[in-house]
Amino acid sequence: MLKEFKEFALKGNMVDLAIAVVLGGAFGAIVSSLVKDILMPPLGKLVGGVDFAELFIVLGRGTYPSLKAAKDAGAATINYGIFINALINFLLVAWALFFVVKGINSARRQPAPAAPTEKECPHCAMKISIRARRCPHCTSAL
């Protein structure tokens, strides 16, 4: 049973998946930092320094100067500003990933198309070797 588990765990697909998960986590941290540290500050400056996280609606009676004060008082709130932040973060992450993947795809080398090894006989339309001087099917001279 130990031998079977070893074979299962060390299959090529399993190792590839483990590597992909580790690299995906590291790549996720890079993209999150790109969004949080590079893209969000100029966007915040562009919209006038608005902090969406402080936008909320109190369910019930009472008014509170901040979301923290409402939470501390135990008030039920709809935190639509945090949702807006999450939505903006998602869109920026998707946008950044689009350009990262686009750059990776353009950096990949496209293999040169293989030279053709067959051609079509002009008389019988059968596929023949490109080096043939006579068609083996209809015996026509090429």
Domain range summary for the chain, segments of one domain joined by +? 2-110, 111-142
Per-residue tokens: 86: 């999450």
DSSP 43: H
User: Angle 17-23-27 (CA atoms, 0-180°, nearest 5)?
Assistant: 140
Q: What single-letter amino acid sits at 139?
A: T
Q: Mean pLDDT, to the nearest integer, of 112-130?
A: 87
Condensed to tens digits (0 to 9), the pLDDT of residues 73-85 reads 999 999 998 888 8
Condensed to tens digits (0 to 9), the pLDDT of residues 25-69 reads 888 888 778 777 887 778 778 877 777 778 899 998 889 998 899
Q: Which CATH superfamily is domain 2-110 in?
A: Large-conductance mechanosensitive channel, MscL; domain 1 (1.10.1200.120)
Closest to 129 measured CA to CA, from 120, 137, 141: 120
Q: Is the pLDDT of residue 111 over 90?
A: no
Residue 72 φ/ψ region, left for φ over 0, alpha for ψ in the -120 to 50 degree band, beta for the rest: alpha
